[in-house]
Every structure is written in structure tokens, then in C-alpha cells.
A and B are shown apart, each in its own frame.
Chain A
């Protein structure tokens, strides 16, 4: 793992520690409070802070997860080299695309 990967994974972990807590708190609030889907969407639609928070969350996950997965694959399999890096770059793009699509759907629908 290069120094920049190492730094990126640690830096994103800091953000995730806070973001996951907020995310879980939001889930608990939304479900235990008895909010309906329509009531949740009414709060998220057009809400800039919702968009900013979850877009950041998705970007950070798309950086953090592939780097960690790369380390695990290197330790537990023989997979090395450009094919591994390429596969994980695609995985990162997939996380980014699916995540942002979901965030935009809840923000703009």
C-alpha cells in the first residue's frame, strides 16, 4: 500500500467514524419516531444539508472501502498487480455511482 493510500484510508476513517454515527442516529430517529416514507422524503427533498452529508458519506466510502478490500485481498489471496488495482478502481466507481444515485433519488425525487 502506498503512503497516499494509507493516508487516504486513515483520513476517511476519521470522517466515517462521525458519519456512521450520524447515519445510525438518523435511522433510529426516522424508524422509531414512526415517520412514514412520505414524511421522510418531505424532510430530505431539496434539503442541501442532507445532500451534502450523504454525498460526502458516499465519496468517503468509495475511497475507504476499496483500499481496505485491496489489503484484505492481498493478505488472503495471491491476487496482485494491475488487475487487482483495476478491479478495485471499478469497485470504487460502482460504490460512487450507486451511492450518489441513491442520494440524488432521495434528494430530488
Chain B
């Protein structure tokens, strides 16, 4: 049997322990689902696709933020124990479900959205895949906004206003998008006291990202771009 300590409550609460049968190839999300369906229907958690595409099932499993759908129990169980907590650095709604609003508000604050400019382009943009800018954008483009990096980031834990690795990574992909017309405003948005320069390069985001993205390098790129702009070097 697997003994699963599950966080119950909101910002305050306690762990509740469930005994769940071990099964071959069982994922952590399977365990949470089994608890809710067979043991306690009041358990709150979030999931959608179950195959690592939607980014909604992230939790802290035995101290580390992960996608529960892509984490097999045998890879993470400490003996026969699992400890499941909501993502760190988010407001807990209930049990294992967290409030994502502040997280996505930071994407907006970092201007992490495409700016087409005042008038639409007359023709399709030609973007050769081998250009350095496109390769830099491609390196961070696969982010699905699961919040694992935000949960892992120490700087977010210290300074709740810090924009965080996901929002800054998104901003970096747009800084490298040759079609975008909002680069100056975006670089201003990410260079405030809560922006890219606050990063300590601990690399927890890069270490934990389930998509193997390296937000640390994206943030380093932003630091360089912001400095170039501050020194009058354009962009």
C-alpha cells in the first residue's frame, strides 16, 4: 500500500493520509484521482488532458514541483510514502488547487503578448528558422503555463511582485519575434525593480521545467537586451 499525505485546506490546513493500492505504471495523478473517487469526494484538485499538454495538474510532490500526470509513482515515492501539496508561491484555493490569476497577470505585466502594431503587415513575414532570433524564440516557445517554474523560484518566494520565470520567458520569445512591434515597451516592462534583473540565476526554473525550457537563459537574454537599450543600443 501507498501512504499518501495530502494537503487539505487553504493557506492554513493540515495533511490527511490515505492508503492507496500500488499499481503498475500508476501516475501521481492516478493516485489523486483514486483518492477523490474512492475515498473522499471533497478533495479539490485540477487536471484536464492527463497527457502533459494542458499544464493544469502541477503540484508539489515530495517537495518538488511536477506535472502529476507525467510523474510515475515509482519514480518519486519515498519508500511507500507520497506527500502532495499545492504549488508553492501561489494562493491556495482549496486542497491541491491554486489560484492562477496572479501568475497570468504577471504575463500581462511583462507584456507577454504579441503586439501586431497599428496597421497589419501587407504580406506574410518570412522568418527563416535558422536565424539566431528565431532559434532564441523557439527555445522558449513551448511553455504551456503550468506554473512549475514559478513554484520552484526562490526569488518569487522572497518578492511576491517579481514577474517570475514564466512571464519573463514569454517576454523573451516576443523580443525575438521579428514580427512584433512592441519591443521597446516590453523591455521597459521587464526592467523594473520586479523584472529580469531581480533574477539570482539559481536555475531552479530551468531545473524543474517539465518541457526542458531554460527560463534562466531567457532572463539572461532579457538582461542583455535591457542593458543594450539603456546604453542607447536600440531594441
Residues of chain B within 8 A (CB-CB) of A2 are: 191-193, 230
Asked if residues A4 and B198 are in contact (CB atoms below 8 Å), the reply is: no
Among the stretches B28-36, B90-98, B205-213, B221-229, the one at the interface with A is B221-229
Taking a contact as CB atoms closer than 8 A, the residue among B158, B192, B230 that contacts A76 in the complex is B158
| Complex alpha-carbon distance, A71 and B198, angstroms | 8
Taking a contact as CB atoms closer than 8 A, the residue among A3, A71, A75 that contacts B230 in the complex is A3
What's the least CB distance linking A96 to chain B, in Å?
23
Asked if residues A75 and B158 are in contact (CB atoms below 8 Å), the reply is: yes
| Complex alpha-carbon distance, A6 and B230, angstroms | 10
Asked if residues B155 and A3 are in contact (CB atoms below 8 Å), the reply is: no
Does B135 touch A at the CB level, under 8 Å? Answer: no
Given contacts A71-B198, A75-B159, contact A3 B193 (CB under 8 A): no
| Complex alpha-carbon distance, A76 and B193, angstroms | 14
Does B231 touch A at the CB level, under 8 Å? Answer: yes
Does B26 touch A at the CB level, under 8 Å? Answer: no
Residues of chain A within 8 A (CB-CB) of B191 are: 2-3, 6
| Complex alpha-carbon distance, A76 and B226, angstroms | 25
Residues of chain A within 8 A (CB-CB) of B197 are: 1, 3, 5-6
| Complex alpha-carbon distance, A76 and B159, angstroms | 8
Asked if residues B229 and A3 are in contact (CB atoms below 8 Å), the reply is: yes
Asked if residues A6 and B223 are in contact (CB atoms below 8 Å), the reply is: yes
Does A43 touch B at the CB level, under 8 Å? Answer: no
Does A74 touch B at the CB level, under 8 Å? Answer: yes
What's the least CB distance linking B197 to chain A, in Å?
4
| Complex alpha-carbon distance, A75 and B158, angstroms | 5
Residues of chain A within 8 A (CB-CB) of B193 are: 1-2, 74
Residues of chain B within 8 A (CB-CB) of A3 are: 191, 197, 226-227, 229-230
| Complex alpha-carbon distance, A71 and B161, angstroms | 13
Given contacts A1-B197, A2-B193, contact A7 B158 (CB under 8 A): no
Residues of chain B within 8 A (CB-CB) of A1 are: 192-193, 195, 197-198
Asked if residues B230 and A7 are in contact (CB atoms below 8 Å), the reply is: yes
B197, B229, B231 pick with most chain A CB within 10 angstroms: B197
What's the least CB distance linking B231 to chain A, in Å?
7
Residues of chain B within 8 A (CB-CB) of A6 are: 191, 197, 223, 226-227
| Complex alpha-carbon distance, A75 and B193, angstroms | 11
| Complex alpha-carbon distance, A1 and B223, angstroms | 11
> What would be 15 A-B contacts, judged by CB atoms less than 8 Å apart?
A1-B192, A2-B191, A3-B197, A3-B226, A5-B197, A6-B197, A6-B223, A6-B226, A6-B227, A7-B227, A7-B230, A71-B198, A74-B159, A74-B193, A74-B198
Q: 7 tightest CB-CB pairs across the interface, nearest first?
A: A3-B230, A75-B158, A6-B197, A1-B197, A3-B226, A3-B191, A75-B159
Having A2-B192, A3-B197, A6-B191, one finds 17 other A-B pairs with CB under 8 Å, namely A1-B195, A2-B191, A2-B193, A2-B230, A3-B191, A3-B229, A4-B230, A6-B226, A7-B230, A7-B231, A71-B198, A74-B193, A74-B198, A75-B155, A75-B158, A75-B159, A75-B198
